[in-house]
Amino acid sequence: MSRQDSGVAVMAEQKQPNRERIVATANRLFYTKGYNQTSFAHVADELGLSKGNLHYHFRSKNELLDAVIDLRMESIKQMLARWEKQYPDGKARLKRYARILLNEEADVVRYGCPMGSLNMELAKDQRDLQQHSRDMLELFRRWLEKACKQIGRRDYRALSLHIMARSQGAAMMAALYADVGLLKAEYKRLVDWIEML
């Protein structure tokens, strides 16, 4: 499975305009260190650029976050479109979503879900920033909702939220215990449950 599936490690960070390299590096650091724990200096250092350069491209850290979220959303949209082609069946689509946890299992076990952990961090006292971040969740949720409708479920909204809650819980616990076995076990449970729908 390609690294593109995570929605985080989206592109190589070399041989691109600096603006894109900055977004790619910020994307990675926001994931591995957290948004509030990542500074312009960190990003600049990793790229061998100056802080001033970063501020030329992004007036504020806020703007940089928006760019990172836009990048992730673009990546997510492409992934979901790919899945729609590969899996015509509704249940197969739900199962493919569940499997996302295993794609980047090494990262998930260390840093949690990129979407979930960023959202939760911002939800606490930066709800204005979280608004945009939640759009990422909504991309997945609406896609799941559609798949649920497809298999004839009337409770498609509730189902889509439940499936996301299950995957978020799995990613979180796996990260807190740094245990990939936990991730695999929760994946299996979720797939079995989807099969019974």
Partner DNA sequence: GTCTATATGTAGATAGAC
Partner DNA sequence: GTCTATCTACATATAGAC
Contacts with its own copies by CB under 8 A lie at: 32-34, 36-37, 110-112, 116-117, 119-121, 123-125, 127, 130, 134, 137, 158, 161-162, 164-170, 172-173, 175-178, 182, 185-186, 189
Quote the least distance from Cβ 47 to DNA, whole Å.
Answer: 8
- Report the partner that residue 121 touches, choosing among DNA, its own copies, none (CB closer than 5 to 8 A by kind): its own copies
On whether the CB atoms of residues 107 and 6 are closer than 8 A, the answer is yes
Is residue 60 close enough to count as binding DNA by CB under 7 A?
yes
180-189 contacts at long range (C-beta below 8 A, 24 or more positions apart): 180/105, 180/106, 180/109, 183/101, 183/102, 183/105, 183/108, 183/109, 184/102, 184/105, 186/101, 187/98, 187/99, 187/101, 187/102
φ, ψ dihedrals at 60, nearest 5°:
-140, 165
Is residue 18 close enough to count as binding DNA by CB under 7 A?
yes
Site for DNA in 124-183 (CB under 7 A): none
Tell me which residue of 136, 135, 35, 20 sits closest to 67, measured CA to CA: 20
Quote the least distance from Cβ 164 to its own copies, whole Å.
Answer: 6
Residue 151 CB neighbour total at 10 angstroms: 16
Quote the least distance from Cβ 149 to its own copies, whole Å.
Answer: 18
On whether the CB atoms of residues 134 and 119 are closer than 8 A, the answer is yes
- Using CB under 7 A, pick the residue from 13, 20, 34, 39 that binds DNA: 39
Q: Which is nearer to its own copies, 102 or 123 (CB)?
A: 123
Which residues make up the interface to DNA (CB under 7 A)? Answer: 17-19, 38-42, 48-53, 55-57, 59-62
